[in-house]
Amino acid sequence: MTCAPLGPPEGSATHAAKRTVLEREEARVGLLTLIAGGIGVAAGFIAFALYHLIGFITNLFYYGELNFSFASPEFNHLGLLAILVPAAGGLVAGLMIKFGSTKIVGHGIPETMESVLLNRSKIEPKVGVLKAVSAAVTIGTGQPFGAEGPIIQTGGAFGSFVGQLVAMTGSERKILLASGAAAGMAAVFGTPIAAILLAIELLLFEFRAKSLVPVAIASAIGAWMHIYLISPQPLFQTPAYAFGGLNSLPFYVCLGLICGVLGSVLSRGLYKTEGLLGKARLGQPWLPMVGGLAVGVVGLAVPQVLGVGYNVITGVLDGQFVIELVALILVAKAIAWLLAMGSQTSGGTLAPMFLIGAATGYLFGVWAVSAYSALGVVPAVFAVAGMAAVFGTASRAPFTSIVFALEVTKDYQGVLPVVITVVIAELVGEALMDESIMTERLAGRGLRVRNYYEYNPLRQVRVGSVMSTPASAVEADSTVGELSKLMSSRDHPFRLRKRVVVVQDGRPVGVIDRDQAYAAASVSPASRVGDACTGAFERILEDEFAYEGLRTMTLRGVSFLVVVDKEGRLAGYLSQGDLTRALKGKVEDETVVEGPKYRPQD
């Protein structure tokens, strides 16, 4: 009796109609896009609720009004009582952390990244709810945070929840999580392109149509929801600036260097502050309360640091403040944010980073314009570039920060100065920091997150181009005695093979290794190879990409695959060594230094 395979596993085929794994994946784009559209609508309403909940809490605690409109706490008349308001918010957030979930600590993005990388993109629904409410409480009570981290975690949690209601892979659930996060960010800020880029840089870690299309649709719908539910105007309404010509280029480079250092200091400083405050051993909910109390003291002296500070950022970009006040706001915001976030409470990083960066750029611009009046620009143009550069450095998300700064100001004519400043700052950050503000906590947990994309040859080449040919094969009707002799012969290729493929009519029906052949030959040399072989083996189409071979080997726990063509006939043999050789070119490109091919003639 001829041994028979146990059945083709996922990714194998014996018929021409079978699709490759890539084709099956792309066929799911429509379903994912449809679901992502619904997530975008829901994220818009979630953002609307968060935005107005912050306004309600601010109005209630600082002005004693039942009003849901967004307001700034800086104009309150509470006097010394204002010190206690952020402390109360910290206490409430601490209670939610202690009795709700510790995963809402911090600005939310690292926790979302961790769920993608370690938990197959699964987030508990309660984490999203608690994060939104706790952040609304802390921001509404004046703590110096932004709403982007909370809405990203909350939107991502909603997308993950939907992904857990439908049968899908972890990769597909990741796309829905990223769709929810991007839609939430776009719905709060009206920045659809920046939201897409943030999802790519910090959540998806890939760029392909299957993930880009659903995320883009969700983000666009989220931005439409922002226009209809929150405001059709840009977040920071600024006049049209002249960003200068080539003569201003050296100044943007200098600003990039400054912002790179500042972004690195803030990122490292946050986790140093966490460590120092953690030594107090107060724990939840008392540590966030103490952090809130410190914010209250700073806010009493400089009320512009309280809350998200969107109006203050607009004032800096418009040049409404005197230079002394801008410098004071810069220092006070940085101190208040470090103390508050370091106290293990719940909040966001983008808004405070934007204010610190804008203030830094404005101060630099005042110096540049006064020293070189021929630049023909106003100091505020440097504030726009600085705003993007500080956040881009700290987060290691330069593309997101570039586009975000342009979208929230609608100053698209500033794209060149902003790009120059951000990329220079990014280079400085690369030199000064091993981890970003988004990945430092993950690194402390033993998880290293790469902040750049790599070319993977296994996703580009097909199995047929890397497999071993011809495959070592023996007919099923051969005897095990004949096969054992060939394996023992010094002149036959079988001598170097640990196993051979058993075929019948050109189609693989089993695999037999050296020990099986010798054992069967010692008992009955005349028995058929087809009766002695193992029928449980893994196949793969030669048209599949090599990465599918690696995936199958990993999931099935095997070290080789039998390669077949679309008719199910034996085409070759794929081993782990074949996959390693496929990576040789990439390794050589990154490590082998070649001399110049062309030399100038003497």
pLDDT band at 251 (very low <50, low <70, confident <90, very high): very high
**Across 344-353, average pLDDT:** 85
From the list 152, 239, 135, 139, the residue with the least C-alpha distance to 187 is 152
From the list 479, 441, 417, 237, the residue with the least C-alpha distance to 349 is 441
Query: What pLDDT score was predicted for residue 310?
Result: 87
Query: What pLDDT score was predicted for residue 216?
Result: 94
From the list 328, 348, 342, 330, the residue with the least C-alpha distance to 269 is 342
Give every CB contact of residue 58 below 8 A, 6+ residues apart in sequence. Answer: 70, 71, 72, 73, 139, 140, 141, 142, 307
| Out of 60-69, 99-108, 221-230, 509-518, least confident range | 99-108
How much is the pTM? 0.78
Query: What pLDDT score was predicted for residue 5?
Result: 44
pLDDT: which is higher, 204 or 456: 204
Flag whether pLDDT at 587 surpasses 80: no
Among 85-89, 553-557, 589-593, the range of highest mean pLDDT: 85-89
pLDDT tens string 109-131: 777 777 777 777 788 888 888 88
By three-state DSSP, how is residue 511 classified? strand
pLDDT tens string 368-420: 988 887 787 888 889 999 999 999 998 888 899 999 999 988 888 888 889 99
Residue 210 token pair:
């299957």
pLDDT: which is higher, 12 or 518: 518
**Across 178-200, average pLDDT:** 90
Mean residue pLDDT across the chain = 84
Query: What pLDDT score was predicted for residue 454?
Result: 62
pLDDT band at 60 (very low <50, low <70, confident <90, very high): very high
From the list 149, 186, 181, the residue with the least C-alpha distance to 438 is 149
Give every CB contact of residue 393 below 8 A, 6+ residues apart in sequence. Answer: 259, 260, 262, 263, 264, 267, 425, 426, 428, 429
Q: Which amino acid is present at 171?
A: S
**Across 230-257, average pLDDT:** 84
DSSP class of residue 562 equals E
Dump the DSSP string for 161-202.
HHHHHS---HHHHHHHHHHHHHHHHHHHH--HHHHHHHHIII
pLDDT tens string 474-519: 888 888 888 888 888 877 777 777 788 888 888 888 888 888 888 8
**Across 18-39, average pLDDT:** 75
Flag whether pLDDT at 174 surpasses 70: yes
Which of 75-81's residues contact partners 24+ apart within 8 Å by CB, and which partners?
A: 75/303, 76/303, 80/300
Query: What pLDDT score was predicted for residue 275?
Result: 84
| Out of 51-60, 372-381, 464-473, 592-601, least confident range | 592-601
Neighbours of 42 (CB within 10 A): 22
What number of H helices and E strands is found in the chain? 25, 6
Flag whether pLDDT at 1 surpasses 50: no
Query: What pLDDT score was predicted for residue 440?
Result: 74
Q: Which amino acid is present at 577?
A: G
By three-state DSSP, how is residue 231 classified? coil
Flag whether pLDDT at 434 surpasses 60: yes
Cα atoms found within 13 Å of the Cα of residue 127, Cβ hemisphere only: 25
pLDDT band at 182 (very low <50, low <70, confident <90, very high): very high
Query: What pLDDT score was predicted for residue 327?
Result: 95
From the list 184, 178, 183, 194, the residue with the least C-alpha distance to 115 is 178
What H or E segment, with its residue span, contains residue 504?
A: strand 499-504
Query: What pLDDT score was predicted for residue 381?
Result: 86
**Across 168-188, average pLDDT:** 88
Query: What pLDDT score was predicted for residue 20?
Result: 55
Flag whether pLDDT at 224 surpasses 90: yes
pLDDT band at 193 (very low <50, low <70, confident <90, very high): very high
Query: Can you list the domains of the chain with their CATH numbers?
Result: 22-229 (1.10.3080.10), 246-444 (1.10.3080.10), 456-586 (3.10.580.10)
From the list 584, 207, 234, 200, the residue with the least C-alpha distance to 396 is 200
Flag whether pLDDT at 425 surpasses 60: yes
**Across 63-88, average pLDDT:** 90
**Across 326-346, average pLDDT:** 91
Q: What gap in Å lies between CA 576 and CA 578, rounded to an integer?
A: 5
Flag whether pLDDT at 9 surpasses 70: no
